[in-house]
Amino acid sequence: MARKYFGTDGIRGATNRKPMTAEMAMKVGMAAGAHFRRGDHKHRVVIGKDTRLSGYMLENAMTAGFTSVGMDVVLLGPMPTPAVAMLTTSMRADLGVMISASHNPFADNGIKLFGPDGYKLSDADELAIETLIDSETALAPSAEIGRARRVEDARGRYIHFAKSTFPDALRLDGMKIVVDCANGAAYQVAPSALWELGAEVIAIGVTPNGKNINDGVGSTAPEALCETVVASGAHIGIALDGDADRLIVADETGRVVDGDQLMAVIASGWARVGRLQGGGLVATVMSNLGLERHLAAQGLGMIRTQVGDRHVLEKMRGSGYNVGGEQSGHIILSDYATTGDGLVAALQVLAELARAGAPASEVLHRFDPLPQILKNVRFGGGAPLEDAAVQEAIAEVEAELYGRGRLLIRKSGTEPVIRVMAEGDDRAQVERVVDRVCDAVRVAAA
């Protein structure tokens, strides 16, 4: 059954436009609260948010919804998404909520829900909540309306947790680190955790005003990070996104290190000490073929999934892997967290750097990425991928790339666009085959 409100990562949209309105937020609170009221115990939900202006509106609306169906609300304030997942379990809550649109501009916002186990909700739970949103939810009797309180030490709890993932035998003394918090949820916790571990911290993207989240800073705009690293003579720079579940790194020369390289660093390090489970890692179809070849040379495997961290996590849980992620920097380390955690992933990278005693430019670039080209073809309707000429072009290109590259074609789930991606050893060949398939799609869509 198709979902009406939930997308691949919760409910998301432009604020004060459907579905991201205060009215919808209250309905989601009522529906999710009713769905997770199971048993006779006093029910509790924790709510975190990033630094968007609209977070105040949505937080208050969701609080009204949850308390109206008898759930107590614990307000965390600005906190990373992984912190909300962690605190949901540690506080024995029945439900966790993160109000964030991740790396999107400030005008967008979203609602992510976590179950009592700290994992994002299943499709079945989301469908059940959608049904309740569109129906009349039973309200609690007057004497059973929930209460709301704010927890003042939530940041300290998460900092302690994050630091606990860093090896006890190591410190960051003498390491100068630039940290870019995207003017988002980690603007306080990330610099504090790094400083407490001994680093000299230069923090940027730590002055949120409600409207500047992800604006020229953060993992999706690493230019500011790279410039600051070079100008300050830092050893390394780390950039998080608005809700701090993604990580991108810059070495001391200002060169960007993406999620594929970071997964290679972590997986290789964990394999060396016998910590890596599953004999490899889980990545998506977008991860570079160079990563797959690099791992294979070490006797490690790589399983690919559809794009989206929930698909990565599902495969990790089902197949016994403890490292997985996306090229974009959404890295999941299931020994520590139930979702991507940019700060925890950064600490694992910093641990490898501290052990190596070598510059980041030598430690973090583990393989040469193959040329990878992605182009989008917009279409007005129909099913161009089912056209005979398109299928013929795809078959011919796949045969041409066999053993030397790969072709990936997928229809966007959010807009009328066909995405055509190819990679291989020969850039000219990759460009030519991508254009060939795109041309065939355009003709079919005309």
Which value, in Å, is the radius of gyration of the alpha carbons in the chain?
23
| Domain membership flag for residue 166 | no
Last residue of a domain, one of 255, 277, 301: 255
Please tell me the predicted confidence (pLDDT) of residue 438.
95
Residue 370 DSSP code: P
Phi and psi at residue 243, to the nearest 5°: -110, 10
Q: Is 54 a catalytic residue?
A: no
Residues 363 and 383 in one domain: no
Q: Strand runs (DSSP E) across 50-163, as ranges?
A: 72-78, 95-99, 108-114, 148-150
Residue 144 DSSP code: G
Residues 312 and 389 in one domain: no
| Domain membership flag for residue 32 | yes
Please tell me the predicted confidence (pLDDT) of residue 296.
97
Phi and psi at residue 77, to the nearest 5°: 75, -165
| Domain membership flag for residue 162 | no
CA atoms of 334 and 265, how far apart (whole Å): 16
356 is in which domain, residue-wise? 258-369
Look up the pTM and report it: 0.92
Please tell me the predicted confidence (pLDDT) of residue 322.
98
| Domain membership flag for residue 304 | yes
CB-based burial label for 23 (10 Å; 0-12, 13-18, 19+): exposed
Residues 39 and 50 in one domain: yes
| Domain membership flag for residue 1 | no
Mean pLDDT by runs of 10 across the 446 residues of the chain is: 79 94 97 91 96 98 98 97 97 97 95 96 93 92 96 95 96 97 98 98 98 97 98 98 97 98 98 97 95 97 92 95 97 97 98 96 96 92 88 94 91 82 94 95 88
Please tell me the predicted confidence (pLDDT) of residue 411.
85
| Domain membership flag for residue 167 | no
Last residue of a domain, one of 320, 344, 369: 369
Please tell me the predicted confidence (pLDDT) of residue 56.
97
| Domain membership flag for residue 228 | yes
Residues 90 and 55 in one domain: yes
Residues 395 and 351 in one domain: no
Residues 351 and 272 in one domain: yes
Please tell me the predicted confidence (pLDDT) of residue 413.
66
What's the number of domains the chain is made of? 4
Residues 220 and 232 in one domain: yes
Residues 96 and 30 in one domain: yes
| SS3 call for 361 | helix
Cα 132 vs. chain centroid, distance in angstroms? 27
Please tell me the predicted confidence (pLDDT) of residue 1.
55
Q: Which of 54, 68, 100, 102 is catalytic?
A: 102
Residues 225 and 148 in one domain: no
Last residue of a domain, one of 215, 238, 255: 255
Residues 248 and 262 in one domain: no
Contacts 24+ apart (CB under 8 A), 11-15: 11/110, 11/111, 12/101, 12/104, 12/108, 12/109, 12/110, 12/111, 13/108, 13/109, 13/110, 14/107, 14/108, 15/52, 15/54, 15/57, 15/58, 15/107, 15/108, 15/109
| Domain membership flag for residue 98 | yes
Please tell me the predicted confidence (pLDDT) of residue 2.
64
Q: What is the CATH number of the domain that holds 350?
A: 3.40.120.10
Residues 122 and 35 in one domain: yes
Residues 352 and 379 in one domain: no
Distances (CA, A) of 404 to 370, 371, 425: 10, 11, 6
Please tell me the predicted confidence (pLDDT) of residue 38.
83
Cα dihedral 161, 162, 168, 170, rounded to 10, equals: -160
